[in-house]
Amino acid sequence: MDNKPANNFLHQIVAEDLEAGRVSEVITRFPPEPNGYLHVGHAKSICLNFGMAERFGGQCNLRFDDTNPEKESPEYVASIQEDVRWLGYEWAGEVRYASSYFQQFYDWAVHLVEQGHAYVCDLNAEQAREYRGTLTEPGKNSPYRERSVEENLDLLARMRAGEFDEGSKVLRARIDMAAPNMNLRDPILYRIRKAEHHQTGNQWCIYPTYDFAHGQEDAIEGVTHSICTLEFEDHRPLYDWLLDHLPVPSRPRQYEFGRLNLNYTVTSKRKLKQLVDEGVVAGWDDPRMPTIAGMRRRGFTPASIRKFCEMIGVTRSDGVVDVAMLEHAIRDDLNENAPRAMCVLRPLKVVLTDYPEGQVERLSAPAHPSREDLGSRELPFTREIYIDADDFREEANKKFKRLVLGKRVRLRNAYVIEADSVVKDAAGNITEVHAHTVPNTIGLDPEDGIKPKGVIQWVSASAGRQATVRLYDRLFTDPAPDKGDKDFMALVNPASLTVVEGAWIEPGLAAARAEQSFQFEREGYFVADRHEHSEAAPVFNMTIGLRDTWNNG
């Protein structure tokens, strides 16, 4: 058990429960519904629940709340397990499913009916809304509320047997239609869904609601601290009511914390699915998506996401976190850990007229300026090289610290060169720069005392490799794309993806392993695509620029 002082109110609660002997072991759970890929908000919940168990020497269960078969799939089940493991956590025992407890839930539903605490209701959805009342007006009792126990048991059994159509009947708790908390106005416990389930097949045609399943799952698993986001605060009285009225084997307690909301981001699964279904993005793991899978493909690291979750903390209230904090976390991580490399995105050929044709000089450069443990890399230097077109001008003022005709610049980790002339096509576009090397300038200043104005990246034209580089930006132009009545689809950033074919990279980059990150000097941080990168066809995704370009916009 970790003896560090509590750094949030939940740690304090758990520590006090252990000290007072209210619990002997901490058991938490992460209970996603497998109806989509996990997003950055889930990352906070994962870090909180698994981190809590780690901190107090307990265990955390991974449980799928799979009570809605029409929206769930094995693809989502698999992706969620992969995300949790990638973030660096391991759940206790086997993966758990709400569906594994369906028979127990049904038995408990029968128990509620027998005790007079539940009844079968025939109101349709529209009628149920009318009877429910409003926040300022009490509801009215359903005309089916006073059915006898015998009739309710018979109807529930026939619902279970598939005798009735979807929507024709539901099982409701009998609580209080005048309760100020709408969740206590005879909530639905079971509904008819004639849909095949990804775990139980066609064994069931009635399924419990999340509210009915949630607390009972926790009780079955011996969960001590059931941590939920704030939208479940109003559901807690129902959570407790069900535990009070059922013969459950343990008594979990629910606590709520503020969910993670990021600006420039949408985290509604329904809206994320819409982006996928309408082809705005290339799938749930598109690097622009705020899904954990998308962030992973973008080049975010588990350490950076965990650090971000630690930075934002855990509070009792909802708020909006600046996405720049997340970007800062990944920049910080990659600045310290990513090897350096050179990539030319807008290639312009430079011919070094004094350098022998066919000669290849093997230069050495550190993989990282302050990490000797990362070793060095080899840079082939040849007569023809590529530099970035933005790094050359025929004429420029003193503020331009790159290559200009008649001026000098240093090639990173190589020679100082001086530009002599240009070659242009019929349209007047520069196609080549002719230059010469200044002798004895690898690691040294020119002997004639005329220093270069700046340093630029370069890649050998004959020994370098071509690659596809994808440049990513924020997916939305608006800081609150789904607030109020905004159409978030109309706020998609048209510049969120730029694909550069034919960029030139250091030859060693082609052998990068999938998901290996680099700082492309003066460009930003990039990662070898986890699905499409190969030595024969390198593909790199931009993780983040070197600086925040949105700071003033």
Contacts of 54 by beta carbon, 8 Å cutoff, 6+ apart: 2, 60
Options 33, 82, 151, 521, the catalytic residue: 33
**3-state class of 464 per DSSP?**
coil
Q: CA-to-CA distance for 438 and 410, rounded, in angstroms? A: 10
Contacts of 396 by beta carbon, 8 Å cutoff, 6+ apart: 402, 404
Burial degree of 13 (CB within 10 A; 0-12, 13-18, 19+): middle
Options 145, 194, 251, 259, the catalytic residue: 259
Name the DSSP class of 6. P
Longest CA span, the chain: 104
H helix intervals, 2-55: 9-19, 40-55
> Cβ(146)–Cβ(152) under 8 Å?
no
On the CB side of 463, how many CA atoms lie within 13 Å of its CA? 20
> Cβ(516)–Cβ(287) under 8 Å?
no
Measured CA to CA in angstroms, residue 539 lies from 68, 403, 502 at distances of 38, 28, 10
Q: CA-to-CA distance for 90 and 87, rounded, in angstroms? A: 9
Kindly give the pairing relationship between strand 225-229 and strand 253-257.
Answer: parallel
H helix intervals, 418-503: none
Confirm whether 269 is a catalytic residue. Answer: yes
User: Could you tell me how far CA 93 lies from the centroid of its own chain?
Assistant: 25
Q: Is the dihedral of CA 337, 518, 392, 364 positive or negative?
A: positive
Options 169, 185, 269, 530, the catalytic residue: 269
DSSP state string for 133-169: --SSS-----TTTT--HHHHHHHHHHHHTT-S-TTS-
Measured CA to CA in angstroms, residue 171 lies from 130, 158, 208, 427 at distances of 18, 12, 9, 77
Q: CA-to-CA distance for 109 and 171, rounded, in angstroms? A: 8
Contacts of 397 by beta carbon, 8 Å cutoff, 6+ apart: none
Confirm whether 401 is a catalytic residue. Answer: no
Q: CA-to-CA distance for 371 and 46, rounded, in angstroms? A: 31
Contacts of 520 by beta carbon, 8 Å cutoff, 6+ apart: 341, 342, 343, 457, 526, 540
Query: Residues with catalytic annotation?
Result: 33, 259, 269
